[in-house]
A and B are shown apart, each in its own frame.
Chain A
Amino acid sequence: MPLSDWMPLLADGAVITVKVAVLSAAVALTMSVIAGLGSISKHAFLRVTSKAYIQLFRAASLLVLLFWVYFALPFAGIELSKVMAAVLSIGLNIGAYGAEIVRSSIAAVSKGQHEASIALNLSPAQRMRKVIFPQAFARMLPSLGNLMIELLKSTSLIYFITLADLTYEAMIIRNNYYTWTPAIFALLLAAYFCLATLISISVRLLERSFTGWR
């Protein structure tokens, strides 16, 4: 296997994959918290927009969304770079799923905790920040970890808009080493598996540090 020829290309691809994954994760987690809290807010406007966002972006097909953002939006006067288009599409789509996780984790914190923090005369913001959210966060972690693995897998779709990620680089290698096709794809699968394993290990370590007080 001419690994020495492949490795530099795959390494370049891995950089793009990781870059898009990290940026998308930042968008996704931000949207998860905003829309998750928004969907249980007292303000009707916040609640309706959050719920509309969640419904709409969960029902969308990510690949069609990516095409639409990258190819169709410029005709509406919004031109984005490939990375921006990818990060926005993946981030907003995964964020809608994340918002549901945030919402249900907050709902799962026991009623007594809400009541106790009201009894202690904490303001609504303090209640959420100091009492409810930290407990909900510990509950969210396993599901959010799985969601981040889904996000990593979704980044392979950026191959379609010719961003030179792992998948795209593997296809280029395949053009030059056609007979090695099965080995190239096996290697590519292994590369994604390693990245996914990194995510699950980090989430598990986070979990340990957050649930230590239990």
Chain B
Amino acid sequence: MNLTLRVWRQKNARTPGKLVTYKVNNISPDMSFLEMIDVVNEDLTLKGEDPIAFDHDCREGICGMCSMYINGRAHGPEKGTTTCQLHMRKFQDGQTITIEPWRANAFPVHKDLSVDRSALDRIQQAGGYISVNTGGVPDANEIPIPKDIADKAFDAATCIQCGACVAACKNASAMLFVSAKVSQLALLPQGKVERKTRVENMLAQHDAEGFGACSNIGSCAAECPVGISLENIAMLNREYLGAKLTSENVG
């Protein structure tokens, strides 16, 4: 395949960026999208030009590190797929592909396609956990959890923290991300004790980081590579209302 790439190049957060065009040839349809960029980077390096910086690590769709806006879509055109699992066979010979970083105020650009997503970690630190020390816990089968509840909690727990939901949202909201953790832990008996403070603290941190509010458009869920459902946002809203409107230990 022969392709024209338009790639966002930006030296660092303080320097303005711009789209730069590269012609690339002999791309195999079996390559992953990131392997295609590897090939481009090898050529750039040999020519003495700075290779394109991008985030990636596991290359098997689970670590959540890869992040790119491809032709106006988070992680590219294929539904339910991270960039590292996107393959060139999904593109056409001769196509022009525009590649940009995630864009959100809460995600400053490090360089080229690499952005700072540490805000998401700080939201987790605000309460995305169950307060239990190591040791001294009950036997794992002591508290049975109905299969459908465990499955639902699992569905929410699959979030990989890639930030596509933020990138896809016109408000740059991270609600889908927050809702996934809140739902997972609120569903499980072990997580119920702290559910009120958890949702309040995580949402407060979400706002403090500069993410926008949710306006129920749903592009976050549409672009989520692991299929986190909008139902989690509904649950988040219920949890938040419950925390605000009920007294301790009720509801």
Q: Do A and B come from one complex?
A: no
> CB within 8 Å of A: which residues of B?
none
* A binding-site residues for B, Cβ under 8 Å: none
